[in-house]
Chains A and B, each alone.
Chain A
Amino acid sequence: MTLAKPSIWRAGTLVPLLIFAVFILVPVWGQLTDHTFYVAYFARILIYAIAVVALNLALGFGGLVSLGHALFMGLGAYSVALPAFYGIDNGWVHLGFCLASCALAGLITGAISLRTSGIGFIMITLAFAQMGYFLFVSLKQYGGDDGTSIANTSQFFGLNLGGVYEVYVVSLVLLILATWWSARLRVSPFGMVLRGARQNARRVRAVGFPANHYLLVAYVLSAMLCGVAGMLLANLNAFASPSTLSWIISGDLVVMLVLGGLGTVFGPVLGALAFLGLEEILKAFTDHWLAVFGLVIVFIGLLGKAGIAGFLDSFSQRKSTSARTAQTKGAKA
């Protein structure tokens, strides 16, 4: 990948940049035509893309197959819902709750989960997310199974995140920042250690880096960013329910990431757009879209290619394709 010239004219960079340009135009178009539905729909794509950027940090860079990231999305959502339930609409309080709870949950579950690897790690992250799910289901005073609607959405200096356009713009800015940050992080020494740990943790340790500490930091950072996505989602829907913590959401995030391109910078955006776009298209044809969608996921998994980002890159760098697929295959679970 380092062989490629860092030019924006490569398909792998150009297409995502064009997509970002479209994202910027969506609210303008929405204002002109008064189509709030599509603005909300694209806001959902942006928010999921932020969550997938977060997952990419743990799974794409660090190779930690987490099937429990819905836990952090749910914690983020309830960081808005619970204070709002008691009439607190200060966005900074929401954000503080969100970051603190996700960091704490990420630290505890990450430290325990990292004691195992491979299949064990997958199952344990899944089980922890399920534990959070059942916790919120059993909290009957906050709606339990049915969830709770949020009357007081987050307020930042007079900016109310409850508005569709407000949450859209904030999500877009955050997504751009998160994508830029993950691009920087990917090539930073920290990112290098993570990616090294994904390929061969033992060797990274032998070089003198405590691989598990790095992975734990990545996991906690990932949890916090994912929580922010959950917070935005709760504001967009003005609603939080345990279904945000459902493990199907965790699975969806993993599918989005693999579909977009594991460990790539633009993969999360491409994956979230493709996933939610395909979902919307299939829904237009049949009520039983999940049956078709499930099979699509099976084929994506069976093909095991480098995702959409890899497909776009293949236009400009045919030669290093084999190297990249080898790298993707080397992803240590």
Chain B
Amino acid sequence: MTTLVLSQLLNGVQYGVLLFLLAAGLTLVFGIMSFVNLTHGSLYMLGAYFGATAYNHTSSFLLALAAAIGGCIVVGVVLERLAVSRLYSRDHLDHVLVTFGLLLFFNEMAQIIWGTQPYFLPVPAWLDSTVNLFGITYPSYRFAIIVAGLLAAVGSYWLIHKTRLGMLIRAGSVNPQMIGALGINIKFLNALLFAVGAALAGLAGVMAGPILSVQSGMGEPVLITTLVVIVIGGIGSVSGAFYAALVVGIVDTLGRAFLPMLLREVMARDLANAAGPAIASMLIYVLMAVVLAIRPQGLFAGAKK
């Protein structure tokens, strides 16, 4: 039982770090540019497709990673220049419309280019084994995702809190006009941020590829879970996104794994079998509602605004 709980806990952490990779980019775009970006899920999907295609041609997982990240940066920059940058000064409704349209477009293009059948991205051979953690065996690939996600978290902490660029990003989130007036190229900064977000989304997509099937529309469920993460963590806060992503990942995974079992202890088997999955699938949304009812600005948001 303990090993089962532990391995599910690790699965939760692994899901959490994937969510963090998506949430980090998205929360910056939300918080700093005040832009509602529904295409973030499409970038995740494209990352998975780019990675899978590169892997099928070269059989190298490292090249697949590079293709996913590079491809998403290119798509992200083009997107930012062509559409997104025209919308910063408009209201949120226009953001929703344009990114919603783009999302439909990307999903359909993925079907045209890669077909309707799910694509498979195999686990690379050098990670296709298990590791021994605290007495339990755990798939190396999932462990690698955790490590990569934590590295990305440390990296983004370093970028935001220890570098000049990070200082500008933090300043931009407080008062974009002011740092523009100080001679910083805010347009370039925005494009750069969007590209960083796209790169992280692509990385998440290609890493999720071997676990999930790569298919059109794979980005939407994870996008909405990411939104929940951002709301819980506080809009614009990267460290908030990190904690919230772990909380959401663990709550969701453990809820799905153990809630039906726990309910069977306290109520009739039939009822528990019906209610268990239903409640488990709603758990993170209930969590979000509770957080909002108590702290509308999010659990980990700073005092700003």
Q: A297-B97, A302-B87 are in contact. Are A138 and B108 (CB under 8 A)?
A: no
List of A residues within 8 angstroms of B224 by Cβ? 126-127, 130, 247
- Measured CB to CB, the closest approach of chain B to A53, in angstroms, equals 18
Interface pair B36/A304, CB less than 8 Å apart = no
List of B residues within 8 angstroms of A134 by Cβ? 278, 281-282, 285
Which of A91-99, A230-238, A285-293 has 4 or more CB atoms under 8 Å from chain B? A285-293
Q: A120-B235, A122-B36, A130-B224 are in contact. Are A65 and B101 (CB under 8 A)?
A: no
Q: A122-B96, A258-B97, A301-B94 are in contact. Are A294 and B227 (CB under 8 A)?
A: no
Which of A77-85, A111-119, A167-175, A314-322 has 4 or more CB atoms under 8 Å from chain B? A111-119
Instruction: Look across to chain B and name the residue whose beta carbon is closest to the beta carbon of A109.
Output: B289
Interface pair A255/B97, CB less than 8 Å apart = yes
Interface pair A138/B278, CB less than 8 Å apart = yes
List of A residues within 8 angstroms of B278 by Cβ? 134-135, 138-139
- Measured CB to CB, the closest approach of chain B to A180, in angstroms, equals 26
Q: Which of B92-117 contact A (CB under 8 A)?
A: 92-98, 100-109, 111-112
Q: How far is the CA of A332 from the CA of B280 in the complex (A)?
A: 35
A72 contacts chain B at the CB level, 8 A cutoff: no
Interface pair B105/A298, CB less than 8 Å apart = yes
A331 contacts chain B at the CB level, 8 A cutoff: yes
Q: How far is the CA of A300 from the CA of B90 in the complex (A)?
A: 13
Q: How far is the CA of A128 from the CA of B286 in the complex (A)?
A: 9
Partner of B98, one of A67, A120, A123, A297: A297
B268 contacts chain A at the CB level, 8 A cutoff: no
- Measured CB to CB, the closest approach of chain A to B79, in angstroms, equals 11
B288 contacts chain A at the CB level, 8 A cutoff: yes
- The 8 A CB mask of A120-148 against B (1 = contact, 0 = none) is 10111011101100110111110000000
Interface pair B108/A298, CB less than 8 Å apart = no
Interface pair B227/A126, CB less than 8 Å apart = yes
Q: A116-B296, A120-B296, A296-B101 are in contact. Are A247 and B231 (CB under 8 A)?
A: no
Interface pair B292/A119, CB less than 8 Å apart = no
List of A residues within 8 angstroms of B288 by Cβ? 124, 127
Partner of A290, one of B36, B97, B104, B230: B104
List of B residues within 8 angstroms of A206 by Cβ? none
List of B residues within 8 angstroms of A139 by Cβ? 274, 278
B78 contacts chain A at the CB level, 8 A cutoff: no
Q: How many residues of A contact B (CB 8 A)?
A: 50
List of A residues within 8 angstroms of B94 by Cβ? 301-302, 304
Interface pair A115/B34, CB less than 8 Å apart = no
Interface pair B103/A294, CB less than 8 Å apart = yes
B120 contacts chain A at the CB level, 8 A cutoff: no
A295 contacts chain B at the CB level, 8 A cutoff: yes
Interface pair B92/A65, CB less than 8 Å apart = yes
SS of B interface (majority): helix
List of A residues within 8 angstroms of B105 by Cβ? 290-291, 294-295, 298
A197 contacts chain B at the CB level, 8 A cutoff: no
Q: How far is the CA of A307 from the CA of B233 in the complex (A)?
A: 36
A254 contacts chain B at the CB level, 8 A cutoff: yes
Interface pair A288/B102, CB less than 8 Å apart = no
Interface pair A290/B91, CB less than 8 Å apart = no
- The 8 A CB mask of B23-36 against A (1 = contact, 0 = none) is 00000001000101
Interface pair A291/B93, CB less than 8 Å apart = no
Interface pair B108/A288, CB less than 8 Å apart = yes
List of B residues within 8 angstroms of A137 by Cβ? 281
List of B residues within 8 angstroms of A113 by Cβ? 292
- Measured CB to CB, the closest approach of chain A to B184, in angstroms, equals 24
Q: A294-B103, A298-B83, A333-B92 are in contact. Are A116 and B292 (CB under 8 A)?
A: yes
- Measured CB to CB, the closest approach of chain B to A268, in angstroms, equals 15
Q: A135-B278, A294-B102, A294-B104 are in contact. Are A304 and B90 (CB under 8 A)?
A: yes
Interface pair A115/B274, CB less than 8 Å apart = no
List of B residues within 8 angstroms of A302 by Cβ? 83, 86-87, 94, 98
Instruction: Look across to chain B and name the residue whose beta carbon is closest to the beta carbon of A299.
Output: B101
Q: A67-B96, A247-B220, A247-B224 are in contact. Are A295 and B101 (CB under 8 A)?
A: yes
Q: Which of A213-244 contact B (CB under 8 A)?
A: none
Q: A127-B228, A127-B285, A302-B86 are in contact. Are A118 and B92 (CB under 8 A)?
A: yes
Chain A residues close to B by CB (< 8 Å): 59, 65, 67, 112-113, 115-116, 118-120, 122-124, 126-128, 130-131, 134-135, 137-141, 247-248, 251, 254-255, 258, 262, 288, 290-291, 293-302, 304, 329, 331-333
Sample of 30 A–B contacts (CB below 8 Å): A65-B93, A112-B292, A113-B292, A115-B296, A119-B30, A119-B34, A119-B235, A120-B231, A123-B228, A123-B231, A138-B277, A140-B274, A141-B274, A248-B104, A288-B112, A291-B105, A291-B109, A293-B104, A294-B104, A294-B105, A297-B100, A298-B83, A298-B98, A298-B102, A299-B101, A301-B94, A301-B96, A302-B86, A329-B90, A333-B92
Give the 10 A-B residue pairs with the shortest CB-CB distance, closest first: A297-B101, A294-B105, A333-B92, A301-B97, A294-B104, A131-B285, A301-B98, A291-B108, A298-B101, A134-B281
Chain B residues close to A by CB (< 8 Å): 30, 34, 36, 83, 86-87, 90-98, 100-109, 111-112, 220, 224, 227-228, 230-231, 235, 274, 277-278, 280-282, 285-286, 288-289, 292-293, 296
